[in-house]
Amino acid sequence: MKFIKHIGLAVLLAIGASCAVFYTSCTKDACKDVTCNNGGTCSGGTCTCTTGYEGTDCSTLSRTKFVKSWSASDLITGGSTPLSYTANIAAGTGSDVTQVIVGNSFSDNFFTVGPITATVTGSTITIPSQNPDGNKYSVSGTGTLANSIITWSYTIKNDSTSATQVYSGTWQ
């Protein structure tokens, strides 16, 4: 009788071990058939993209959605008459995939500031403080892209007088 109990226990252990082996061999690697481009990494079947790229397989440059000719309408803080003009955003030059060049930009009856260099991270465009073309004005600001419209907030400073103007606006 004891012998039969040992045989039964051995059979149950063998079945349990077989089930464990079959179960682990059937677990599929969620990243096996996933290709993440441009240095992206896969976890759980989803790509995590490096800075400057997006999309399900990290093959889309984040800045692409910003590159076009925009119809701009900006307002000086406290002002009532919007400034309307056309602004162009182009892909930057060089190896920085986050860089864009904003040309024909930030202009009113008194000055024109541009072209300027900005960076794109996801849906945000950032203009670090800079003095384009060596003129007497410096510019800095940020914008957020949603529904094909960039909502801006930026500052233009006259470097010789320290006077500043703060603008907000939309480009579409």
Q: Domain with 101 in it: what CATH number?
A: 2.40.128.420
Q: What is the spatial distance between Cα 54 and Cα 74, in angstroms, rounded to a whole number?
A: 29
- Do residue 143 and residue 83 come from a single domain? yes
* Full residue range of the structural domain in which residue 81 is found: 67-171
Does residue 83 sit in the same domain as residue 155?
Answer: yes
Higher pLDDT, 36 or 114: 36
Identify the domain boundary among 18, 36, 60.
60
Tell me, what CATH number does 19's domain have?
2.10.25
Residues 105 and 127 in one domain: yes
Do 16 and 77 lie in one domain? The reply is no
Query: Are 56 and 71 members of one domain?
Result: no
- pLDDT (tens digit, 9 = 90+) per residue, 101-110? 998 655 554 4
Strand partners, 137: 158
Q: How far apart are CA 36 and CA 58, in angstroms?
A: 6
Cβ atoms of 86 and 69 closer than 8 Å: yes
4-18 pLDDT tens trace: 665 655 655 567 556
* Same domain, residue pair 148 and 167: yes
**Alpha helices in 1-160, H assignment, sequence order:** 2-26
Same domain, residue pair 49 and 90: no
Phi and psi (nearest 5°) for 34? -100, 130
Same domain, 82 and 116: yes
117 neighbors 98 (Cβ within 8 angstroms): no
Cβ neighbours for 157, distance < 8 A, ≥ 6 positions apart: 137, 138, 139, 163, 164, 165
Q: Are residues 79 and 158 in the same domain?
A: yes
Q: 91, 100 in Cβ contact below 8 A?
A: yes
Contact 100, 67 (CB under 8 A): yes
135 and 73 assigned to the same domain: yes
Number of domains in the chain: 2
Reported as a single tens digit per residue, the pLDDT across 19-57 is: 555 555 566 899 999 999 999 999 999 999 999 999 999
Domain boundary among 29, 44, 60: 60
pTM as predicted = 0.76
Cβ–Cβ < 8 Å for 129, 138? yes
In this structure, are 41 and 8 located in the same domain?
yes
pLDDT digits (tens, 9 = 90+) for 124-158: 999 999 988 677 888 899 999 999 999 999 998 88
Chain segment 48-103, per-residue pLDDT in tens = 999 999 999 999 999 999 999 999 898 988 888 888 888 899 999 889 999 999 98
Structural tokens at position 11: 């059979």
